[in-house]
Amino acid sequence: MNNPDILIIDDEVQIRKLLKITLESNGYKALHATTGKEGLAMAMSHLPELILLDLGLPDISGHDVLMELKGWYNKPVVILSVQNSEIDIIKALDNGASDYLTKPFRTGELLARIRSCIKRNRETNNDLPILFDDLEIDLKARTVKKDDVYVKLTLTEYNLLALFARYGGMVLTHQFILKEIWGVGFQAETQYLRVYVAQLRKKLENNPNQPKHIITESGVGYRFC
C-alpha cells in the first residue's frame, strides 16, 4: 500500500512525462498507456489504485474506456479534459468517473484530487464524524458542528450536506444531487438546489460569497471540501 500504482492513459508524450515525474516525486508509482485499448489491458493486468484518463484518445474515446471499465474496476478514475467541454465532463462523471481536471491544470490541484479520490475509496462505512476544517459532520448522530457549536439545519439542508460529506472532495453533478435528494422527476429543478446551497453557505461558510466548503464547479456541479 505504500506506493500506490497510478495508471496514466494519455496519448501526449509530454503530458505523460510530466505526470510521471509529478506522481513519482510524490510517492506514487506511475504506469502509462498511450491508447484506450492498451490502457484497458494495463488496468486489467495491474489493477492500479487510480486511473488518470484523457478523454481524447486516438483509438477509442475515453467514454468507451469508462464503459469498458464499468463493472469490474471499482477504483477511482479521474478524467483529463480540455476546457469548455462541460457536456463531456458531465457524461464522463455519469459514466462512473470520480473526478475531472481540465488542461492546463496545476500540479497542486492534480495531487489534491488524487489524494481525495484514493482516500475516499479506502474509507468504507466508518462511523466516525467527518471533519472538514472547521466543520464536523456526524452522519450517525445526524449532527453538524461549526467551530464546535451545533448548527441548526432543516431536513433537506441536512440531507444535502450529508450527501456532500459522504462524497467529500469529489465533484457531484447537479443531476446526481437532485436525484439523490429529491428523487427522480426533480432533475430539472436546479433552482431548488441553488437555493439550498445558498442557505447552507449562509449557515456554514465564514463568507457565503467566497465559499471554502461548497465550491461551485462551473457548468458541472458542486464539490464539498
Decide: is 156 part of the binding site for other proteins (CB under 8 A). yes
Q: Closer to other proteins by CB, 121 or 175: give it.
A: 175
Residue 194 binds other proteins, judged by CB under 8 A: yes
Kindly state whether residue 213 participates in binding other proteins, applying the rule CB under 8 A: no
Interface with other proteins includes 84 (CB under 8 A)?
yes
199 near other proteins, rule: CB under 8 A: yes
Q: What DSSP assignment string belongs to 69-132? A: HTTT--S-EEEEEESS-HHHHHHHHHTT--EEEEES--HHHHHHHHHHHHHHHH--S--SPEEE
Stretch that binds other proteins, among 52-60, 119-127, 150-158, 176-184 (CB under 8 A): 150-158
Give the nearest distance from C-beta 198 to other proteins in angstroms. Answer: 6
CA distance 70 to 56: 19
- Binding status of residue 198 toward other proteins by CB under 8 A: yes
HEC per residue, 165-203: HHCCCCEEEHHHHHHHHHCCCCCCCHHHHHHHHHHHHHH
192 binds other proteins (CB under 8 A): yes
Among 96, 111, 190, 203, binds other proteins (CB under 8 A): 190
Of residues 101-140, those binding other proteins (CB under 8 A)? 104
The torsion defined by the Cα of 225, 83, 180 and 127, in degrees rounded to 10, comes to -30
CA atoms within 13 A on the CB side of 62: 29
Q: Interface with other proteins by CB under 8 A: which residues? A: 83-84, 86, 104, 154-156, 174, 190-196, 198-199, 209-211, 216, 218-219
